[in-house]
């Protein structure tokens, strides 16, 4: 397998990506996958790990940094723009159609966490995508509005909207509005705010377990009001008769979002549970990522290689 640094444009923004190509000889272009990262993540973390594993299974894979994040362009840094995130997936599909190694008629999407919801929305609007799969689906707008487990007091999001509005006013006055930090200073504080899910997120993004220098771990404040009116699940019925697979950890507090997306899908659809796994376990823990990769290989082999 070889990895190449590549770039492409998404609505005029330069997107940085890693293209993975299997070393084994092929009789022609291969089936290909676009792999998207979790919110505030980068291609060197879990999306790159899945891209490499799927390339080892015979697929051409493209792991990219979302616009405004990682090595990709765009200002302000750390912006989570749902519409742009969906556009990034479509632009990545367009890029793969230009690569001789990839079969433009056999392209699938693989989204992890936040990219799970964006990959579903991108598939709904792009019939070039033949199949879509997600791992630990999370829809950022829902998670901010309702909390990771869906039980958050509505006042929490109202307070975030007020802070985002104040940040816009501050910026209009020519002052620095600052950013919204995604993690507190310690794992204990993360646990107090978000329970086990908060601790696991902290451990992945803020310790040697998974941290990366380009993973911002913050959001530009205007991300909040952009998410207020966003719904990445709205268009799922447009996927129609194309297949949808969602891989979920049995202990994932975010599972309710994947189940909602599953309910909206109208064509061939699967839920695949990973035993004893949490949401974040599926980012990097080999005992959980291995079975997830096996299922992804089975699924994409069925729908992209025939």
pLDDT tens profile 76-115 = 999 999 999 999 999 999 999 999 999 999 999 999 999 9
pLDDT of 279 higher than 80: yes
Is residue 261 domain-resident? yes
Distance of alpha carbon 243 from alpha carbon 152, whole angstroms: 32
Closest CA to 306 of 243, 240, 262: 243
In terms of residue numbers, what domain contains 65? 2-145+232-304
**Residue 111, exposed/middle/buried by CB under 10 A (0-12, 13-18, 19+)?**
buried
Instruction: Return phi, psi of residue 48, to 5°.
Output: -65, -35
Which residues, in sequence order, are CB contacts of 85 under 8 Å at separation 6+?
A: 36, 66, 67, 114, 115, 118
CB 101 within 8 A of CB 30: yes
Peptide bond into 305 cis (omega under 30): no
Q: How confident is the model at residue 25 (pLDDT cuts 50, 70, 90)?
A: confident
Average pLDDT over every residue of 112-138: 98
Parallel, antiparallel or unpaired: strands 218-220 and 269-274: unpaired
Average pLDDT over every residue of 283-302: 98
Distance of alpha carbon 233 from alpha carbon 223, whole angstroms: 18
Closest CA to 273 of 109, 136, 146, 127: 136
Distance of alpha carbon 121 from alpha carbon 235, whole angstroms: 6
Is residue 198 domain-resident? no
Is residue 83 domain-resident? yes
What pLDDT, on a 0 to 100 scale, did the predictor assign at position 27?
83
Q: How confident is the model at residue 239 (pLDDT cuts 50, 70, 90)?
A: very high
| CA 170 to centroid of chain Cα atoms | 30
Is residue 208 domain-resident? no
Average pLDDT over every residue of 67-83: 97
User: 107 by DSSP, 3-state: which?
Assistant: strand
3 state SS for 73-94: CCCCCCCCCHHHHHHHHHHHHH
Helices (H) and strands (E) in the chain, counts: 10, 10
Is residue 184 domain-resident? no
pLDDT of 243 higher than 80: yes
What pLDDT, on a 0 to 100 scale, did the predictor assign at position 113?
98
Per DSSP, 290 falls in state H
Parallel, antiparallel or unpaired: strands 13-21 and 244-249: unpaired
What pLDDT, on a 0 to 100 scale, did the predictor assign at position 98?
98
Is residue 167 domain-resident? no
Is residue 213 domain-resident? no
Distance of alpha carbon 145 from alpha carbon 158, whole angstroms: 9
pLDDT of 306 higher than 80: no
Report percent pLDDT > 90 for the chain.
93
Number of domains in the chain: 1
- Residues 141-177: tens digit of each pLDDT: 999 999 999 999 999 999 999 999 999 999 999 999 9
What pLDDT, on a 0 to 100 scale, did the predictor assign at position 254?
97
Parallel, antiparallel or unpaired: strands 179-181 and 13-21: unpaired
Average pLDDT over every residue of 52-72: 98
Report percent pLDDT > 70 for the chain.
100
Is residue 201 domain-resident? no
CATH code, domain with 62: 3.40.50.1820
């Amino acid at each position: 397998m070889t990895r190449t640094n590549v770039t492409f444009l998404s609505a005029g923004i330069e997107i940085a990506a890693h293209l993975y190509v299997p070393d084994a000889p092929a009789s022609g272009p291969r089936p290909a996958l676009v792999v998207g990262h979790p919110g505030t993540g980068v291609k060197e973390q879990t999306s790159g790990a899945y891209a490499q594993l799927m390339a080892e299974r015979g697929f051409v894979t493209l792991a990219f940094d979302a616009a405004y994040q990682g090595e990709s362009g765009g200002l302000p840094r750390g912006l989570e723009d749902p519409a742009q995130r969906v556009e990034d997936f479509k632009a990545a599909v367009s890029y793969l159609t230009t690569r001789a190694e990839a079969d433009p008629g056999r392209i699938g999407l693989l989204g992890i966490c936040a990219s799970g919801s964006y990959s579903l929305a991108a598939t709904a609007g792009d019939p070039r995508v033949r199949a879509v799969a997600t791992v630990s689906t999370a829809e950022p707008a829902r998670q901010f509005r309702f909390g990771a487990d869906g039980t958050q007091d509505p006042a929490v999001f109202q307070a975030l909207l007020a802070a985002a509005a104040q940040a816009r006013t501050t910026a209009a006055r020519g002052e620095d509005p600052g950013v919204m930090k995604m993690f507190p200073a310690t794992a204990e504080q993360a646990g107090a705010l978000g329970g086990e899910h908060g601790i696991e997120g902290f451990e992945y993004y803020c310790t040697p377990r998974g941290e990366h220098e380009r993973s911002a771990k913050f959001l530009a404040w205007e991300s909040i009001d952009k998410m207020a009116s966003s719904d990445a699940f709205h268009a799922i019925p447009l996927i129609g008769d194309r297949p949808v697979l969602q891989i979920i950890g049995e202990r994932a507090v975010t599972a309710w979002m994947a189940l909602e997306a599953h309910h909206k899908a109208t064509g061939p659809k699967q839920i695949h549970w990973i035993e004893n796994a949490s949401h974040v376990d599926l980012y990097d823990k080999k005992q959980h990522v291995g079975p997830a990769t096996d299922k992804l290989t089975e699924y994409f082999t069925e729908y992209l290689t025939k």
